[in-house]
Structure 1
């Protein structure tokens, strides 16, 4: 099997023998770009921290209203997608953050 693999590799060429491969404009490839300005987070005491209220409140605390979108991923995990890299960096630089007197974890 190793000999067959070696022969196959030797027969490969980077010359213009074949048409170039064009990747489709698929959502699968765009998702990385869309999430490049996002943070993931976790509420450390979800019994005392309402996810919906936190997602509504934090853009105000961060002073980025209208430039960020919050998404509840589970009972204690969330994502915020920012429109601007500068806003995301400001939020991360001003850590730690808390909501309803309990800490929350934020990570890019």
Structure 2
């Protein structure tokens, strides 16, 4: 009942298999993101901090009404507690960023 295992039975002294050779590096072609930056420069992305209490369906119209800007921003739910607003001018977006922080349902909103 008290039989001792030998070193080979325990796997000691055996040569460990070597790691497989590394894969070669992937070459990514040059990409110019200037068009994407231009198309998305007026978009503000945010996140709610307590999705159990902060409901996205109530947050989007609340913020669009709360922010007094020249034209109403377009809000969209991105899922997983994230949202985005698209503004019509850079001045409107800067005005929103200058008046941070924002709260909804007694919890912070991350912009």
Shorter-chain TM range is: 0.5 to 0.7
Count of aligned pairs: 79
Deviations 1:13-32 (CA, angstroms, capped at 9, x unpaired): xxxxxxxxxxxxxxx97543
Give the structure with higher Rg (CA).
Answer: 2
- Higher helix proportion: 1
Deviations 1:54-104 (A, max 9, x none): 001101111137431001001300111100111110110100001111100
Q: Which has the higher contact order (CA 8 A, sep 6+)?
A: 1
TM-score under structure 2 normalisation? 0.64
Q: Unpaired runs of 5+ in structure 2?
A: 1-32
Aligned Cα root-mean-square deviation (Å): 1.8
1:49 counterpart = 2:49: no
- Structure 1 unaligned spans of 5+: 1-27
User: Structure 2 matches for 1:67-86, cutoff 5 A?
Assistant: 67-86=72-91
